[in-house]
Homo-oligomer: A and B are copies of this chain.
């Protein structure tokens, strides 16, 4: 198969972890007889530095032409504490999501038996955790009108949702639930927000078409609690953009495997695969960042974007082996020998 992949390394540790995923994908291509054409493009602070714009048109064209996008991370601390910065790396991310129509962010959270002790939570709380968040990604308060009034003394952000936006996200949620244990939780704040009431009534209406799916409705504050108490009581969760941002990050730490969590963003034009961790500026260039989340994102890409299940399985199997044989970066080494980012990538590619 010919695979045309846009490669957006981004900022911070992005280029380092992406490089390892490329090694692994190339090894897979050799093994399974595929031909990958990598199309690198600029995003984030790296793109601002180069061309003054965090998601340049050229990058967009490369993504639109690709069969899938593999993404590292973006964000740079020099922008974070400057509320007045006019151009920000994150704007590139949001523009990219919007222009590529990536309306659903798929974020699995699961445990690796060998890493369970890394979790801040007790073993009995997390064993068996296997949940998926579907976060709406191109609507809500992220994209509503925002600005200042009264000479800058008043700020506002408008949160907007249409029924159609809720439906297309919820549809993916119901469909996903049907392939899993048929449990769907709609997370909202319907006791306060009108947008949440629209979410809830829309999901309630759709539930009639999926009689086999058991649907629950929970407030976002209650979910923020229960995720820490009993993460394994959840299966598929659907939610709006901002709640999803907060809850998926919270969920990512409970498994103890944050450095391994992949994600996919899917929608209208293409799909994008990225590790859930950020650009980790402090580690930039040190060759110490854990590349496994990016490698597992590539596995998701093979499976979901290309339908290449065996290839995905092979990647997951070699990642499992690296964990059980202790070929891991310092975050997972637990006092034992720590491998460099590039060494982990080399080992994975060689042993595939």
Could you tell me which A residues sit within 8 Å of B by CB distance? 75, 79-81, 83-84, 88, 90, 94, 120-122, 125, 141-142, 144, 146-148, 150, 152-164, 189-195, 197-198, 200-201, 204, 217, 220-222, 224-225, 227-230, 242-243, 245-247, 249-250, 252-254, 258
Contact of A217 among B81, B159, B189 (CB under 8 A): B81
CB-based contact A194/B157 at 8 Å: yes
CB-based contact A245/B229 at 8 Å: no
Q: A225-B249, A254-B228 are in contact. Are A156 and B159 (CB under 8 A)?
A: yes
In the assembled complex, 28 residue pairs joining A and B whose CB atoms fall closer than 8 Å, in A order, are A79-B191, A80-B190, A83-B200, A83-B201, A83-B204, A84-B197, A84-B201, A90-B192, A94-B192, A120-B122, A120-B125, A120-B228, A120-B230, A121-B121, A146-B193, A146-B194, A154-B198, A155-B160, A155-B161, A155-B162, A155-B195, A155-B198, A156-B161, A159-B159, A189-B245, A227-B250, A228-B250, A246-B246
Q: Which residue of A75, A88, A250 has the most chain B CB atoms within 10 A of its CB atom?
A: A250
Q: Please name all residues of chain B whose beta carbon is closer than 8 Å to the beta carbon of A121 when the two chains form the complex.
A: 120-122, 228
Residue of B nearest to A145 (CB): B158
Within the complex, the shortest CB–CB distance from A124 to chain B, in Å, comes to: 9
Which 9 pairs show the lowest CB-CB distances between chains A and B? A155-B198, A83-B197, A224-B250, A146-B194, A221-B249, A90-B191, A83-B201, A155-B194, A155-B195
Q: A121-B122, A154-B161 are in contact. Are A148 and B194 (CB under 8 A)?
A: yes
Q: How many copies does the complex hold?
A: 2
Give A21 to B158 CA distance when docked, in angstroms: 41
CB-based contact B155/A157 at 8 Å: no
CB-based contact B225/A194 at 8 Å: no
Inter-chain pairs besides A141-B192, A224-B246, 19 sampled, C-beta below 8 Å: A81-B217, A83-B198, A94-B192, A120-B122, A121-B121, A141-B159, A148-B194, A152-B163, A152-B198, A153-B163, A154-B160, A155-B161, A155-B195, A156-B161, A221-B249, A224-B247, A225-B252, A225-B258, A243-B246
Q: Please name all residues of chain B whose beta carbon is closer than 8 Å to the beta carbon of A242 when the two chains form the complex.
A: 189
Q: Which residue of A155, A162, A163 has the most chain B CB atoms within 10 A of its CB atom?
A: A155
Q: Please name all residues of chain B whose beta carbon is closer than 8 Å to the beta carbon of A75 when the two chains form the complex.
A: 191
Give A144 to B199 CA distance when docked, in angstroms: 19
Q: Please name all residues of chain B whose beta carbon is closer than 8 Å to the beta carbon of A200 when the two chains form the complex.
A: 81, 83
CB-based contact A154/B159 at 8 Å: no
Give A163 to B154 CA distance when docked, in angstroms: 6
Residue of B nearest to A218 (CB): B80
CB-based contact A250/B253 at 8 Å: no
Q: Please name all residues of chain B whose beta carbon is closer than 8 Å to the beta carbon of A84 when the two chains form the complex.
A: 197, 201
Q: Please name all residues of chain B whose beta carbon is closer than 8 Å to the beta carbon of A220 when the two chains form the complex.
A: 245-246
CB-based contact A80/B155 at 8 Å: no
Residue of B nearest to A250 (CB): B224
Contact of A156 among B195, B204, B247 (CB under 8 A): B195
Q: A122-B120, A155-B161, A249-B224 are in contact. Are A80 and B142 (CB under 8 A)?
A: no
CB-based contact A88/B191 at 8 Å: yes
CB-based contact A159/B158 at 8 Å: yes
CB-based contact A157/B195 at 8 Å: yes
Give A152 to B221 CA distance when docked, in angstroms: 26
Q: Please name all residues of chain B whose beta carbon is closer than 8 Å to the beta carbon of A153 when the two chains form the complex.
A: 162-164
Within the complex, the shortest CB–CB distance from A261 to chain B, in Å, comes to: 11
Give A201 to B155 CA distance when docked, in angstroms: 12
